[in-house]
Structure 1
Amino acid sequence: MNRLGVAMVGLGPASLPHARSLMDLANLIDVKWAATRSEASAQAFARQFAFPVTTDIRAAIADPDVQAVLVLTPANAHLDIAEAALAAGKHVLVEKPLETTLERAGRLVAAGRTAGLRLGVVLQHRFRPASVRLREILASGGLGTVETASLNVPWWRPQAYYDAAGRGSFARDGGGVLLSQAIHAIDLFHSLLGVSRVVASQVRTTALHRMESEDYVSALMELSNGAPASLLATTSAYPGSPEAMHIVGSLGTATLTGGALKVAWLDGCEEAVEAEGKSGSGAAIMDFPHDAHRALIADFAAAVAEGRDPVVTGEEALETQRLIAAIIRADPTNRQPV
């Protein structure tokens, strides 16, 4: 298979697991450009990775040797860059969330379908081995009927994190803990179990942070089979703990904590999948292995080569963003944009 020519756009912290993954996947992917508007970011990136670096984003996208563009910028730049890439005939892999609002996210997904090109979204928790195994168990009916489920994301971010320009703002990020941190766990939860309705929610900003958007959310939900479910997501739980999903079935219970899975069946049998590493739940935001990123990027490259959709499509990411919007709207006291 010919190597896929790729341009990375956006060289901030989010680019690091991608760059490491692309180094691992050099037999499949040829990084033609690593692009950013910031000369300082370009120089800092070049000191870590031996990829060609440029501050001319348009030229990188237009390069005829580039077949796909990885959009790794803050959310508010995703639509414009993706539209430019799609218009140039390039496939697109975009970081989460799709965009800052549902309207812009919908436009991005529609642009991908209209262009007839591959659009993937970086929601890499679906590729963790423990997540893959849990999906297999649920699909086979191994837990029986799901009776109830909960999702807890008790993360921590210090104030210094939100003091960075645009962090936690609606204009740049589109929101707070839901779109920027908990979206990975929410996407996995929704893809495994389905959420048909948000019954009620509380969306707040605690006294621990000075920020525009939310750092605490709790919600009661209804799964696709009608069973009750709950959510708690925050970045105010010092020092931060791995996210945890708890699924109670008629045949047993599964607990997914970070990247570790434990299943206990009523007949006494048990199964466990160990985690690959940490989950970035504390102040060290990039303290996690890049294995899941590597698997997601490899799937995207295979999807382009095989002419199929990637595992995480734009439509699925849009459904996750719609669920987040529904959680926000379910709090009658909250008026933040979605």
Structure 2
Amino acid sequence: MPRPRNIGVIGHGAMGRQVARMLTTEPELTRLVGAVTVGTRRPRTGEAPRSRTALPEQALPEQMSPEQVIADPRIDAVVITTPTRTHESIALSALEHGKHVLVEKPVTLTASGAEHLRAVARRAGLGLQVVSQHRWAPAWEAVHRLIGEGSLGRVSSATVEIPLWRSDRYFADDPARVEDQLWNLAHHELDLAIWCLGPVERIAFCETVVLDRYRSSTTACLVHRSGCVTTASFTSGAFPGRMPRVCFNGSTGTVVVEGGSVVVDARPDPETVPDAGLYLPSRPEEAGSADWLAPYRRQLAAFFSALDDDPPPALDDAAISTVSTISSLQNLPRERG
């Protein structure tokens, strides 16, 4: 069994609080964790201490500044849950102080930044990953396996549809949400498509239309190194919003994932398919697990369990390609709708 690690959770917003709670209460994680310390700059007056220790004999101070967490030699690894534009600098500082790093998406805002972090981690023999918890969901593990083993034949086209809605209040609460909405709202589905299909080689087409002061729509044609072409569409103005949907079209089968569930898995015997093909409907979406944090816990457990591996967990090419793709989409000119 891996030795327990002392963990620092940097950032204590909604996700940081969830991570700290999981690390100190979930059995699949507490067996891997020694002490948990929260790094936050502004403690909330009157609230209970932010961290608890699983092993009292290894107790660390309950709360520190982010800089103190990074510099503390007793802390082995950090989970970074701070705002998007702070991830790269905090991750780099943590690696330079000898910490393993698991960082919320996106890991950086440029591919060169992500590659630099990976190089620093490799030289130091440290683990570095971005939170991509949906890769750990059973449905997506199955789809990744089907494509990887060739069960869909040649996957020549795919679609990623992200038809979301966010209110004026959502954007007004944090102005960065307007500029960073592709990073915040489209990252997971694009990462899953790239994880399954391979890195994106070029963007053949992209159009972004600004709908109003807050919302926008982006449609892009992504050409993967494998030759597959993915059509991706994102909007934050599709009232009232629908589940994201990802479709993989292969020469011997088709799979569609919607809201984390496989709603089409068609791999029939070719002899049973008429010359005009089939027009298969999606089956009703099966109720997924009510425990939406289960895949997140699985990634946390896998990351901490593998820190003694040689080499330790690394940022993969799909993660870097996701950063490169979204960075390119963000920086292309926008049209006013």
1:165 aligned to 2:170?
A: no
Confirm or deny: 8 A CA contact 2:134 2:188 kept in the other structure.
yes
Name the count of aligned residue pairs: 312
What displacement does 1:146 show? 1.2
- Aligned-pair identity in percent equals 30
| Map 1:1-338 → 2, pairs under 5 A | 1-22=2-23, 23-24=25-26, 25-40=29-44, 46=49, 50=52, 53-168=62-177, 175-194=179-198, 195-207=200-212, 210-211=213-214, 215-261=216-262, 262-267=264-269, 274=286, 276-277=288-289, 289-310=292-313, 313=315, 315-329=317-331, 331-333=332-334
Report which stretch shifted further, 10-19 or 266-275: 266-275
What displacement does 1:315 show? 4.8
Q: TM-score, normalised by structure 1?
A: 0.82
Amino acid at match of 1:240: G
What displacement does 1:166 show? 4.0
What displacement does 1:223 show? 3.2
Confirm or deny: 8 A CA contact 2:111 2:321 kept in the other structure.
no
What displacement does 1:96 show? 0.6
What displacement does 1:295 show? 1.0
Confirm or deny: 8 A CA contact 1:149 1:229 kept in the other structure.
yes
Q: TM-score, normalised by structure 2?
A: 0.82
Confirm or deny: 8 A CA contact 2:70 2:94 kept in the other structure.
yes
Distance 1:316 1:139, change over 3 A: closer
What displacement does 1:55 show? 4.0
User: Could you give the per-residue CA deviations for residues 212-260 of structure 1, whole angstroms, max 9, x where no partner exists?
Assistant: xx73210122233324320011222122211111111111210011210
- Secondary structure at the residue paired with 1:136? helix
**Structure 1 Cα separation of the partners of residues 85 and 193 of structure 2:** 25
Distance 1:228 1:90, change over 3 A: closer
**Structure 2 Cα separation of the partners of residues 46 and 244 of structure 1:** 40
What displacement does 1:61 show? 2.5
Confirm or deny: 8 A CA contact 1:215 1:235 kept in the other structure.
yes
Amino acid at match of 1:91: H
Confirm or deny: 8 A CA contact 1:121 1:314 kept in the other structure.
no
Confirm or deny: 8 A CA contact 1:35 1:54 kept in the other structure.
yes
Unaligned ranges ≥5, structure 2:
54-60, 274-279
- Secondary structure at the residue paired with 1:32? strand
Amino acid at match of 1:200: F
Confirm or deny: 8 A CA contact 1:126 1:132 kept in the other structure.
yes
**Structure 2 Cα separation of the partners of residues 166 and 44 of structure 1:** 27
What displacement does 1:101 show? 4.0
**Structure 2 Cα separation of the partners of residues 203 and 246 of structure 1:** 22
**Structure 1 Cα separation of the partners of residues 165 and 289 of structure 2:** 17
Amino acid at match of 1:302: S
Confirm or deny: 8 A CA contact 1:201 1:328 kept in the other structure.
no
User: Could you give the per-residue CA deviations for residues 77-127 of structure 1, whole angstroms, max 9, x where no partner exists?
Assistant: 223322222222111111111124445444433332333311111111111
Larger radius of gyration: 2
Confirm or deny: 8 A CA contact 2:109 2:323 kept in the other structure.
no
Confirm or deny: 8 A CA contact 2:125 2:311 kept in the other structure.
no
Unaligned ranges ≥5, structure 1:
170-174, 279-287
